[in-house]
């Protein structure tokens, strides 16, 4: 598609939207301008291609299609069947997986599908057989209550939030922490690295039904072959959440023992982070779990978002190209450049560096909380998110760190020199920020004071970088 065609398409779309609700059209235009003018370093965000974005804006949105391909609860789903089949085909080929399920609306939906599929496979089916029933509809109220208690009282072992795990890996306030009898594993207190021996010892003691691997803020790779050995030793099902690094798996940056797909029983992911697709989720599974995952609707999900499944198919197709592999390698290379830029300026990084797509900066060395650092950087046009560090004294709300990812700016074409400059700009902001005070005059964990002139100076420095690497080059709105 030519730049002129893309520009015409989006200009006309916004004109049509504006004819009904001009405030929405204006906010959409402004979002593009805001994204173009800021350094986006949120590790879970990226920029989807115009093709992916346009794919979502079609009449496929109008169709209900609960069920699975060829087995829908609504009539007239033949075109949705095609869309879902193509998306699943691309996902299987891209990741080398026996089975792919592309209906989940988000990462948490994908994880819920995975959890309940594993429970159904490991607990429900044996439980029904023990009770002499073929399905739950044949159970008496007393039998169902017994099975329900068994389903809801299984053990899950996942990485703790402050060590880099995700809310859905058993964090107590999250539904995953309420569904399961859960415990969490952390990292080595000295190095911040995953300690496989300690993980194995915890697994032997706890003996979980599900061992969850994967992360949202751990700046290192994982040896999934070792984690599978641990799971097998204790009879656990290995589930890997690769939402953050699925682009590095698709792009063949993570291979062998670092590729979770051959080693895990079930793998979940989003499509919009390093994979650079639409906002959504998917599940990959070995054959023994395929039938259970395929019951995602009605087990967990309702009607799939057909227009988003179409966009997933396009994104998966884009990720199967050689250029995407080059992009994925650049993500990892640029993360190293960003880390080196911080370390050369005496900043403190969790684990001392990175070998994936993200850097976790401990801002306590600047005398700040993560919330203060996040806010000061945003004032200077640098978009990040605060994040816990291991054994964080400030908890999950204020935190002591900020998480920085390279996928989005790599999409814009940033390289080694640009990411070194980004590190310099961030350090300039944090070095010139002081904690604020509360209304009572005490130290604040939220408010901050940024020295005069720093925000504009950093914005000017960012503008020089961004001008050389425009977002959606050639896209001009009328």
Q: Which residues are catalytic?
A: 64, 66, 241, 270, 273, 279
CA distance 218 to 160: 11
Q: Report the DSSP beta bridge partners of residue 437.
A: 443
CA distance 105 to 88: 15
CA distance 158 to 193: 15
- 416-431 and 322-343 are packed helices; what angle lies between their axes, rounded to 10 degrees? 40
Contact 239, 268 (CB under 8 A): yes
In degrees, rounded to 5, the angle at the alpha carbon of residue 18 between the alpha carbons of residues 16 and 24 is 120
CA distance 114 to 94: 20
Tokens 């792009």 locate to: 251
Q: Report the DSSP beta bridge partners of residue 99.
A: 285
Task: Enter the tokens of residue 12.
Answer: 């006309």
Name which of 120, 408, 405, 99 is nearest 282 in CA terms.
99
Q: Report the DSSP beta bridge partners of residue 213.
A: 240
Tokens 């690094």 locate to: 245
Q: CB-based burial of residue 377 (10 Å sphere; 0-12 exposed, 13-18 middle, 19+ buried)?
A: buried
For residue 42, the SS3 value is: coil
């Amino acid at each position: 598609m030519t730049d002129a065609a893309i520009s015409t398409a989006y200009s006309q779309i916004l004109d049509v939207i504006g004819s009904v609700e001009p405030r929405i059209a204006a906010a959409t235009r402004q979002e593009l301008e805001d994204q173009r003018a800021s350094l986006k370093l949120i590790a879970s965000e990226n920029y989807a291609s115009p093709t992916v974005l346009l794919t979502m804006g079609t009449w496929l949105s109008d169709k209900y299609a609960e069920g699975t391909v060829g087995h829908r609860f609504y009539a007239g789903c033949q075109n949705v069947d095609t869309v879902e089949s193509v998306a699943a085909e691309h996902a299987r080929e891209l990741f080398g997986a026996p089975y792919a399920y592309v209906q989940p609306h988000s990462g948490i939906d994908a994880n819920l599908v995975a959890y309940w599929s594993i429970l159904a496979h490991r607990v429900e089916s044996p439980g029904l057989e023990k009770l002499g029933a073929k399905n739950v509809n044949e159970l008496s109220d007393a039998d169902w209550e017994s099975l329900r208690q068994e389903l809801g009282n299984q053990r899950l072992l996942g990485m703790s939030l402050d060590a880099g795990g995700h809310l859905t890996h058993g964090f107590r306030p999250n539904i995953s922490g309420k569904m399961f009898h859960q415990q969490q594993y952390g990292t080595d207190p000295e190095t911040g690295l995953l300690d496989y021996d300690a993980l194995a010892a915890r697994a032997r003691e706890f003996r979980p039904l599900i061992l969850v691997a994967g992360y949202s803020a751990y700046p290192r790779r994982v040896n999934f072959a070792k984690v599978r050995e641990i799971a097998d030793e204790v009879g656990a099902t290995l589930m890997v959440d690769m939402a953050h690094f699925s682009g590095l798996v698709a792009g063949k940056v993570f291979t062998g023992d670092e590729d979770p797909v051959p080693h895990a029983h079930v793998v979940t992911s989003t499509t919009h982070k390093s994979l650079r697709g639409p906002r959504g989720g998917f599940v990959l599974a070995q054959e023994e779990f395929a039938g259970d995952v395929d019951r995602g609707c009605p087990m967990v999900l309702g009607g799939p978002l057909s227009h988003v499944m179409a966009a997933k198919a396009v994104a998966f197709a884009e990720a199967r190209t050689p250029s995407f592999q080059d992009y994925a390698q650049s993500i990892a290379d640029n993360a190293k450049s960003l880390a080196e830029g911080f370390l050369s300026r005496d900043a403190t990084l969790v684990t001392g560096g990175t070998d994936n797509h993200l850097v976790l900066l401990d801002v306590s060395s600047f005398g700040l909380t993560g919330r203060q650092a996040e806010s000061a950087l945003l004032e200077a046009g640098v978009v990040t998110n605060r994040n816990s560090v291991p054994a964080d004294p400030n908890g999950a709300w204020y935190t002591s760190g900020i998480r920085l990812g390279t996928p989005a700016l790599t999409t814009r074409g940033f390289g080694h020199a640009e990411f070194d400059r980004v590190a310099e700009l961030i350090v300039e902001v944090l070095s010139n920020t002081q904690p604020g005070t509360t209304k009572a005059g005490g130290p604040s964990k939220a408010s901050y004071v940024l020295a005069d002139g720093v925000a504009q100076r950093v914005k000017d420095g960012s503008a020089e970088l961004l001008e050389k690497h425009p977002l959606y080059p050639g896209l001009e709105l009328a």
